[in-house]
Amino acid sequence: MPSKLEGHEHPLGKGTFLEGLPCDVCDRFYRDGLSRDLSFQDGFSCDECNFLVHTKCIYVFNILETTKHPSHDGHCVRLRTTGAPDHTDPKCHICGKKTKRLLYHCSICNLSLDIGCMVDALCSGSQLNMPWHYHPLLMLDVGNYMRCEVCGKPGKYGYCCPRCWMMVHEKCASVFDSTEITDSCHARHSLKLLTEGAPGYTDLKCHLCGKDTGNILYHCDICKFNLDMVCAIKHHRQHKVIPAALSNMKVHDHTLTLIPRLMPFVCDGCGEKGDRSPYVCFKCDLMFFHQECARLPRAIDINRHDHRVSYKYPLGPGEWRCEICLKDIDWSYGAYSCSLCPNYTVHSRCATRKRVWDGIELDGIPEEVEDIEPFKRNYDNTITHFAHEHNMTLNKDGVAIEESILCGGCVCPIGSDTFYNCSECSFILHETCANLPKKKRHFLSPKPLSLFLNKDNEGFCCACCLRCCEGFMYTDGSDTYDLLCSSITMPLIHGSHPHPLLYLEEDYYGDREACQG
C-alpha cells in the first residue's frame, strides 16, 4: 500500500467501503448496483481533501501525468487531483459534464477535461485492436493494483482497456488462441471463452472455487457452468486437474467423488454450508465435504493450545464449544480435539486458519515433550537461568529497593516484588520474569515462540504494538513480541466490556474497524 500516489500531494489510506465508494475517477458506484465487481468496494481515500479512488482505477496514475489531447493542440494538459482551479469553469470543455476532483487541466488556457474524455481520446488514437476485445487497447504499466483477468496476478505491463477496467498480461494473451476448451471438471460439454463477464442468467462466480469470474471466463450455456481463468489455466493448461476422486484421505476412509455443479450442502468435515462442487462419499449415505475440507490434516499444532489436536468425526454427543471463536460446535460433524484435555475442542475451519496453524501435518510423527523450564535449581538454593551466565539467589524479604533498579526481564522497577539477584554482577530479575517459559504457543503467531534476552539492546520492535523491545522478548524466528503483548491470553476479559473479547486477524474479518477504546 503506497503512502502517496503520483499526482496527489497527501497520503492516502486503503480501505474497503462496503456501502460503496463514490470514486473521483470513474462513475461506478457499487452501492447503486452499477458494478457487479466486488473489487469496486476497495479503494484509497484522503482524509485531508476527501479524495476517493477505486483500487482498480489507479491505472489512471500510470497514464502520462502530462499529455496532449487531439482537440487542444499546442499545449499540454496536466493531471490534477484537487479539482479545477477556483477561477476556472469546472465543466469539461468537451462533454460539458462537471469534472470530478481528478481531471486534466491546461493552466494556460484554463481548459479542463474529465478523465472519461481523456480515456476516450487515448483509446481512439490507439491502433492496438485485438480480435478478443471490442475496444482498442493500450499497452500500459498499470502498477500493482489492477490484476490480470487471465492469471489473477498483479498487473505491471500488459494490454489495458481503460473503458472496461480490464488488463491482460502480454504473456497471458495466448489464452485467447483457445476460444473453446473441454475440461475434466465439465466433460459433458465444451466451454466457450467469454470476455464480457458471466451472463446474467447464471451464478456470477466460478462454479469450482467460488471466486468472482471477472470479465474473462469459460462458460457452458447449456449447463450455465462458469470456470474462471485462474481455474482454467491451473486445471486445463497446466494440467493441475482437480481430482475427480480422492482416496486415502486423512478425514475419511472411503473414496470421495467430485460433483462439479452448484448444489447446496452442509459439509460433514466442518459443519458449515457450501453451495458448489463438493466431494461426496456415496458409501456413507452421501457425506459431503468442501474441497478444502476433504484434505483436512489428521494431527496438527495450533497456536491457541500447548498440546497437539487431532481431527475427530463425529465429535460425539455433548455440549461442545470452539475455544477459538467461542461458538457452539455441532457434535454430529467433524472437529479437532485434544486427547490430554478432554474438554478442549476447535472448529475444523478455525483450527486450520492460516494464522492459527503453521501448515505442518503431524500425523505419524511422535509428539516430543520439550523442556521449557527457564532455569535449573542448584544444591545451594541458587538457580542457573538460561539467560544469565552466573548463579542467582532468590530474595524474599519483600523490602522495596531503589526505583532506579530495573528488572532485566521486563525492564520495570523491582519495587517490593520477590526477585532473583546475581551476587557477581548487577543483573536482577523479578521472580515472575525468571519463571517465564523458554517456549510457548501464542495467538500472535502460528509458530512456537522462543524467549530470549536482548542483551545488546538491539533495535527490536514488537510486531504487534510496534513499540521498542527491551529485556526479555519472544520470537518466532522472524517476528518479535514484547512481554506485554505475548502475555495476553484468549479470550481477553477487559473491564471496559462485559463479554469476552476475541483476537481476530485482518484476513479473518476484513478491513480493520475503529478501536472503541
Residue-wise pLDDT for 360-417, tens only, equals 999 888 887 778 889 999 988 899 999 999 999 998 775 556 667 888 999 888 888 8
Is pLDDT above 80 for 457? no
Residue 500: is the preceding peptide bond cis (ω within 30°)?
A: no
Per the CB < 8 A criterion, the answer to whether 281 and 294 are in contact is: no
The answer to whether position 185 is within a domain reads yes
201 phi and psi angles, rounded to 5 deg: -85, 0
What stretches of 57-156 adopt beta strand conformation (E)?
A: 66-69, 72-80, 103-106, 111-114, 138-141
Q: Transcribe 4-18 into DSSP letters.
A: --TT-SS--EEEE-T
CATH number for 274: 3.30.60
Task: Give pLDDT, residue 345.
Answer: 95
Is pLDDT above 60 for 510? no
pTM: 0.65
Is pLDDT above 70 for 196? yes
Task: Give pLDDT, residue 51.
Answer: 72
Highest mean pLDDT: which of 136-150, 176-190, 467-481?
Answer: 467-481
Task: Give pLDDT, residue 22.
Answer: 67
Please check whether residues 187 and 228 belong to one and the same domain: yes
**DSSP 8-state assignment for residue 351:** H
Please check whether residues 308 and 338 belong to one and the same domain: yes
Task: Give pLDDT, residue 15.
Answer: 63
Higher pLDDT, 177 or 299: 299
The answer to whether position 146 is within a domain reads yes
Highest mean pLDDT: which of 31-35, 122-126, 310-314, 419-423?
Answer: 310-314
Identify the CA nearest to 270 among candidates 255, 291, 249: 291
What stretches of 268-344 adopt beta strand conformation (E)?
A: 273-276, 279-281, 287-289, 299-300, 309-312, 320-321, 328-329, 335-337
Mean pLDDT of the chain: 81
Please check whether residues 412 and 385 belong to one and the same domain: yes
Please check whether residues 117 and 70 belong to one and the same domain: yes
What stretches of 150-221 adopt beta strand conformation (E)?
A: 157-161, 166-169, 180-183, 186-194, 217-220
The answer to whether position 321 is within a domain reads yes
**The total number of structural domains that make up the chain:** 7
Q: Give the pairing of strands 42-45 and 52-54.
A: antiparallel
Is pLDDT above 50 for 33? no
Is pLDDT above 70 for 419? yes
Task: Give pLDDT, residue 95.
Answer: 85
Cβ partners under 8 Å of residue 258, min gap 6:
185, 242, 243, 244, 245, 246, 277, 278, 279, 280, 291
Residue ending a domain, among 274, 294, 314, is: 294
Lowest mean pLDDT across 83-92, 274-283, 426-435, 482-491: 83-92
| Sign of the C-alpha dihedral computed for residues 215, 217, 221 and 224 taken in this order | negative
The answer to whether position 420 is within a domain reads yes
**What is the average pLDDT across 350-366?**
90
231-271 pLDDT tens trace: 877 765 544 567 778 888 888 989 999 888 889 999 999 99
Is pLDDT above 70 for 36? no
CA dihedral 291, 295, 296, 297 (to 10 degrees): -170
Is pLDDT above 80 for 59? no
Is pLDDT above 90 for 288? yes
Task: Give pLDDT, residue 454.
Answer: 87
Residue 448: which H helix or E strand, with range?
A: strand 445-454
**What is the average pLDDT across 157-167?**
79
Task: Give pLDDT, residue 111.
Answer: 83
Task: Give pLDDT, residue 451.
Answer: 93
Please give the residue range of the domain that contains residue 391: 375-435
* Set of cell numbers at residue 483: 512481554
Please check whether residues 226 and 191 belong to one and the same domain: yes
Q: Please state, for a pLDDT cut of 90, what percent of the chain lies above it.
A: 27
CB atoms near residue 53 (< 10 Å): 26
* Set of cell numbers at residue 464: 504487534
Strand order in the sheet with 111-114: 66-69, 72-80, 103-106, 111-114
The answer to whether position 113 is within a domain reads yes
Higher pLDDT, 383 or 179: 383
Q: What type of residue sits at position 157? A: Y
Distance CA 513, CA 99 (A): 32
The answer to whether position 504 is within a domain reads no
The answer to whether position 74 is within a domain reads yes
* pLDDT classification of 1: cutoffs 50, 70, 90: very low
The answer to whether position 511 is within a domain reads no
Task: Give pLDDT, residue 442.
Answer: 92
Alpha carbon 399 to its chain centroid, in Å, reads 51
Is pLDDT above 90 for 120? no
Distance CA 342, CA 337 (A): 8
Q: What angle do CA 225, 226, 230 make, to 5 degrees?
A: 145
Distance CA 37, CA 217 (A): 14
Higher pLDDT, 512 or 68: 68
Is pLDDT above 90 for 180? no
CA dist 438 to 35, 292, 369, 452, 475, Å? 53, 35, 13, 8, 11
CB atoms near residue 8 (< 10 Å): 21
Task: Give pLDDT, residue 84.
Answer: 83
* pLDDT classification of 35: cutoffs 50, 70, 90: very low
Cβ partners under 8 Å of residue 305, min gap 6:
323, 338, 341, 344, 346, 441
* pLDDT classification of 494: cutoffs 50, 70, 90: confident
Highest mean pLDDT: which of 9-13, 63-67, 199-203?
Answer: 199-203
Is pLDDT above 90 for 29? no
Task: Give pLDDT, residue 32.
Answer: 40
Is pLDDT above 80 for 66? no
Distance CA 36, CA 13 (A): 24
Task: Give pLDDT, residue 392.
Answer: 92
